[in-house]
Amino acid sequence: MTSPSPDLIHSIRAASRQLVRELGFLDKTIAGTDLSGSGVHAIVEIGQRPGLTAKDLGAILKLEKSTVSRLVKSLEERGEIFLTRSEADGRAFGLSLTRTGKETLKAIDGFGNNQVRTALSKTNGMSGEAIAEALRIYAEALRPPEAAGLPTFTEETFEIAEGYQTGMIGDIAALHGRTHGPIVGMGPTFESVVAKAMAEFMPRVDRPMNNSWSILENQAVIGSISIDGEDLGNNVAHLRWFILSERLRGKGLGKVLLRKAVEHCDQLGFEEIHLWTLKGLDAARALYEKHGFDLADEYLGDQWGREVIEQKFIRKRPM
């Protein structure tokens, strides 16, 4: 790699400082709460991984043990979290959000999501997926080598269930609407098309050639992928409704879901897997291509409520 110029280093540092300021981390409280930055981050991390220990929380937030102890105590006194003794290690306690803590997390997520949506509306057409991927790569590159063992989101962190899950049609349609709405147009059309197609598929999801894999949190679907082995015929599988909640992206869970879908198709002997997506979802495209999918077609479509460029990808079964 070519050594970065002093001007480039200066520009990145300046942008990083501005990012910290614009996100409010120099204020006494952030994210529309009366919590400190460390308090907000703690609520988010505990909410995303119930049962997280104080030790792991400290590693994630890069805080000393004494600082974490004070932070945990203050959040417990506020009624935001509660502690339960770990079954695996009786000396450790898992941290979980109370009802109050969950309401605080909801408010934090609402504030942060609005910040992101507002900012993305001003990026002059640059793909949000590209921005997210660049930020993820840069953030990971900043992690020191000794941080490689820090707790991260893994396949074991969340429950991944097969088949139909109660409420998943509404959950997945909503995820698609919120994620792709800025591309296809906000409003009921896109979400309704997704929900209608899923309502047709789910009564037959338990047939051997079909399946669905969902990431669950508190019984809600926050990520999913499905294989429809019937609708295209000719021994071709249809990969459908691949979606992740925004906060799950960049953590390897998309790879887990896509691998499960591809392995299902290979085990059943499908000659090809076809999928349709929207142009501009660069991170998703990169993931598809890493798993053997190639762009086969690109065209203007209007089934979602307004004209958008759609793409068709095909993966042929390895010989």
Q: 113-161, pLDDT tens digit by residue? A: 888 888 888 888 777 777 877 887 888 778 765 555 444 544 445 778 8
Quote the pTM value.
0.53
Close Cβ partners of 56 (under 8 Å, ≥ 6 residues apart): 150, 151
pLDDT at 184: 65
State the average pLDDT over residues 209-217. Answer: 92
Mean per-residue pLDDT of the chain: 84
State the average pLDDT over residues 177-198. Answer: 79
Domains of the chain and CATH, by start: 6-149 (1.10.10.10), 159-316 (3.40.630.30)
Q: 294-318, pLDDT tens digit by residue? A: 999 988 877 666 778 889 999 998 8
Q: Is the pLDDT of residue 250 over 80?
A: no
Q: List, as one string, the DSSP characters of 137-179.
A: HHHHHHS-GGGGGS----TTTSEEEES--TTHHHHHHHHHHHH
pLDDT at 185: 63
Q: Is the pLDDT of residue 73 over 60?
A: yes
pLDDT at 156: 47
State the average pLDDT over residues 107-118. Answer: 88
State the average pLDDT over residues 290-297. Answer: 92
pLDDT at 138: 82
Q: Is the pLDDT of residue 235 over 60?
A: yes
pLDDT at 200: 95
What SS3 string covers 57-92?
A: HHHHHCCCHHHHHHHHHHHHHCCCEEEEECCCCCCC
What SS3 string covers 242-277?
A: EEECHHHCCCCHHHHHHHHHHHHHHHHCCCEEEEEE
